[in-house]
């Protein structure tokens, strides 16, 4: 999501006459696009700001800007203690050129207003990816859920869905430029809903419209919320071969007591039922998840419930985090971050170990299968080989043998690690 926001920012700045440099030492303006989701994401940025200041010492006049969620959350600290020149929140990127005009050494500029309707629908992002094959498209901004641990609703504001036609236009545009895959992005894509005077477009409708652009344009999406992923979406995925069979379905915890405290609005049984439905309709669908270890009051039994859910579902892959108390969230205001750091970390290692074993099992189960992959380019580990993802999102490496980037090819899985399928 932040990558896509950065692409929107590049577009706004290009229109205002700025051009991009690959070398930071050459820049007249350095902007860091920031994330506040966990404390360590913010800590890294404080370190980066020091680097920018050192750069400014040797390059007077350099403008240092902080944009994104940290700008929204920590505007005063950024301006007063860290002396940055520009602080701009996620809904205020259009004001960047105006603010940059006004920046002076003694007059930093700030705009952190959140909006109810900004979706940057008319701005064509300047793609920053290198492969030219796979593009991200934001379909909505903000979030209307209030998961008690999460800072997103405070830093990115209320949920709003982007004009469906502008999304389809952008997907057509990238396809015409040679891209073969689009990933539709939102914090909770299943609650996408766009209405005009003559039509109402749900997420399932939107998926169909994007899938209809071309049979060789793959469609992916993230993130699905377990409480909202509907049968309609599952059947729409199944009906279109070019909608990739992969769902990122963050569970957060396997304990219904924890899920209630987290305000996720589903319980363990609901989650398992959704997984069963997905697998009934699409037996080969890839499933990945996010898990938080050590949320407020989590007991050994709650943790054991998470372990057993992960064991039972068998995710292909998971992002796993120790709970990080975020100022201003409901948990921060009303609960105690009472699981000691060593216990959080031990639980986190246990779920990581389990997931590594599960990933290996899931990848091994692919051996012998034939999969269609979209060729992305040379493999990072072995530039003599190519790599590309299967529909289920598993990364495959295979011999180059005359295949070109952006083409589809069918490979046979002969071996694997816990994160890569080795193919012929
Ligand atoms: N909208 C998505 C998730 C966005 S944040 C969803 O609801 O699933 C990405 C992930 O960061 C979350 O799924 C969660 O696992 C993790 N996360 C969010 N807040 C966190 C916190 N305070 N501490 C640790 N992990 C957190
Ligand atoms: Fe955060 Fe919950 Fe919204 Fe995801 S759905 S962004 S976890 S509040």
DSSP string, 191-211: G-EEE-SS-EEEHHHHHHHHH
Give the number of whichever ligand sits closest to the CA of residue 265: 2
CA–centroid distance, 250 to ligand 1, in Å, is 8
* H-helix segments, 230-267: 231-239, 256-261
Give yes or no for residue 130 having a pLDDT over 70.
no
Give yes or no for residue 200 having a pLDDT over 90.
yes
**Residue of the CA atom closest to atom 1 of ligand 2:** 150
DSSP 222: E
Pocket test for ligand 1, best of 288, 289, 290, 347 (most atoms within 8 A of CB): 290
Position of tokens 């909608």?
Answer: 243
CA–centroid distance, 37 to ligand 1, in Å, is 7
Please work out whether the CB of residue 150 comes within 6 Å of at least one atom of ligand 1: yes
Distance (Å, whole) CA 362 – CA 421: 10
Please work out whether the CB of residue 306 comes within 6 Å of at least one atom of ligand 2: no
Please work out whether the CB of residue 268 comes within 6 Å of at least one atom of ligand 1: no
Provide mean pLDDT across the span 370-383: 93
Share of the chain above pLDDT 70, in %: 100
Please work out whether the CB of residue 311 comes within 6 Å of at least one atom of ligand 1: no
DSSP 410: E
CA–centroid distance, 320 to ligand 1, in Å, is 9
Atom of ligand 1 nearest to the CA of 291: 15
Please work out whether the CB of residue 388 comes within 6 Å of at least one atom of ligand 2: no
The string of pLDDT tens digits covering residues 297-351 is 999 999 999 999 999 999 999 999 999 999 999 999 999 999 999 999 999 999 9
Give the number of whichever ligand sits closest to the CA of residue 152: 2
97's tokens = 């050129």
Atom of ligand 2 nearest to the CA of 150: 1
Please work out whether the CB of residue 187 comes within 6 Å of at least one atom of ligand 2: yes
* H-helix segments, 330-415: 330-334, 341-364
Q: How many of the other CB atoms lie within 10 Å of CB of 344?
A: 21
Residue 251 — pLDDT band, cuts 50, 70, 90? very high
CA–centroid distance, 372 to ligand 2, in Å, is 33
Residue 127 — pLDDT band, cuts 50, 70, 90? confident
Q: Residue 370's beta-bridge partner residues?
A: 412
CA dihedral 212, 214, 219, 225 (to 10 degrees): -10
CA–centroid distance, 197 to ligand 1, in Å, is 35
Pocket test for ligand 2, best of 1, 90, 152 (most atoms within 8 A of CB): 152
The string of pLDDT tens digits covering residues 220-247 is 999 999 999 999 999 999 999 999 999 9
In the three-class reduction of DSSP (H, G, I as helix; E, B as strand; rest coil), residue 70 is classed as: helix
Residue 98 CA: distances (Å) to CA of 12, 14, 94, 95, 397: 11, 13, 8, 5, 47
The string of pLDDT tens digits covering residues 50-89 is 999 999 999 989 999 999 999 999 999 999 999 999 999 9
Contact 387/395 with Cβ under 8 angstroms? Answer: yes
CA–centroid distance, 152 to ligand 2, in Å, is 6
CA–centroid distance, 141 to ligand 2, in Å, is 12
Element (H, E) at 300: helix 300-313
**Residue of the CA atom closest to atom 2 of ligand 2:** 147
Pocket test for ligand 1, best of 152, 222, 250 (most atoms within 8 A of CB): 250
- Nearest partner of 408 among 423, 420, 390, 424, judged by Cα: 390
CA–centroid distance, 111 to ligand 2, in Å, is 24
Please work out whether the CB of residue 156 comes within 6 Å of at least one atom of ligand 1: no
Atom of ligand 2 nearest to the CA of 188: 5
Please work out whether the CB of residue 149 comes within 6 Å of at least one atom of ligand 1: yes
DSSP 297: T
Position of tokens 């083409």?
Answer: 407
Distance (Å, whole) CA 288 – CA 278: 12
Give yes or no for residue 116 having a pLDDT over 80.
yes
Domains of the chain (ranges, CATH numbers): 2-111 (3.40.50), 129-244 (3.30.750.210), 280-365 (3.30.750.200), 370-423 (2.40.50)
Pocket test for ligand 2, best of 36, 187, 295, 319 (most atoms within 8 A of CB): 187
Distance (Å, whole) CA 268 – CA 286: 20
Query: What radius of gyration, in Å, describes the C-alpha atoms of the chain?
Result: 22
Structure pTM? 0.95
């Amino acid at each position: 999501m932040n990558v896509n926001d950065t692409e929107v920012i590049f577009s706004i700045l290009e229109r205002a006459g700025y051009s991009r440099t690959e070398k930071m030492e050459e820049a007249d303006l350095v902007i860091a696009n920031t994330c506040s989701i966990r404390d360590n994401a913010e800590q890294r940025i404080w370190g980066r700001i020091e680097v920018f200041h050192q750069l400014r010492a040797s390059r007077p006049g350099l403008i240092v800007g902080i944009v994104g969620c940290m700008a929204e959350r920590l505007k005063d600290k950024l301006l007063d203690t860290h002396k940055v020149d520009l602080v701009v929140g996620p809904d205020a990127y259009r004001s960047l050129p105006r603010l940059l005009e006004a920046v002076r050494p003694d007059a930093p500029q700030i705009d952190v207003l959140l909006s109810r309707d900004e979706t940057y629908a008319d701005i064509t992002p300047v793609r920053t990816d290198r492969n030219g094959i796979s593009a991200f498209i934001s379909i909505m901004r903000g979030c209307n859920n209030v998961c008690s641990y999460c800072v997103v609703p405070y830093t990115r504001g209320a949920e709003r869905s982007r004009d469906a036609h502008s999304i389809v236009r952008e997907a057509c545009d990238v396809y015409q430029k040679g891209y073969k895959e689009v990933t539709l992005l939102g914090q909770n894509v299943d609650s996408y809903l766009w209405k005009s005077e003559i039509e109402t477009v749900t997420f399932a409708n939107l998926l169909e419209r994007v899938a209809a652009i071309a049979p060789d344009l793959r469609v992916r999406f993230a993130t699905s919320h377990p409480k909202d992923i509907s049968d309609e979406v599952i059947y729409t995925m199944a009906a279109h071969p070019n909608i990739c069979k992969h769902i990122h379905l963050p569970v957060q915890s396997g304990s219904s007591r924890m899920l209630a405290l987290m305000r996720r609005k589903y319980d363990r049984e609901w989650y398992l039922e959704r997984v069963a439905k997905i697998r009934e309709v699409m037996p080969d669908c890839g499933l990945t998840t996010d898990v938080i270890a050590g949320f407020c009051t989590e007991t050994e039994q709650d943790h054991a419930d998470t372990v057993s859910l992960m064991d039972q579902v068998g995710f292909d892959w998971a992002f796993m985090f120790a709970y990080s108390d975020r100022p201003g969230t409901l948990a921060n205001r009303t609960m105690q971050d009472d699981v000691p750091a060593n216990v959080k970390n031990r639980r986190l290692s246990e779920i990581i170990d389990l997931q590594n074993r599960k990933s290996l099992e899931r990848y091994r189960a692919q051996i012998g299968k034939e999969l269609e992959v979209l060729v992305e380019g040379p493999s990072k580990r072995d530039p003599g080989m190519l790599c590309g993802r299967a529909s289920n999102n598993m990364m495959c490496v295979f011999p180059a043998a005359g295949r070109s980037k952006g083409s589809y090819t069918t490979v046979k899985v002969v071996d694997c690690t816990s994160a890569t399928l080795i193919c012929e």
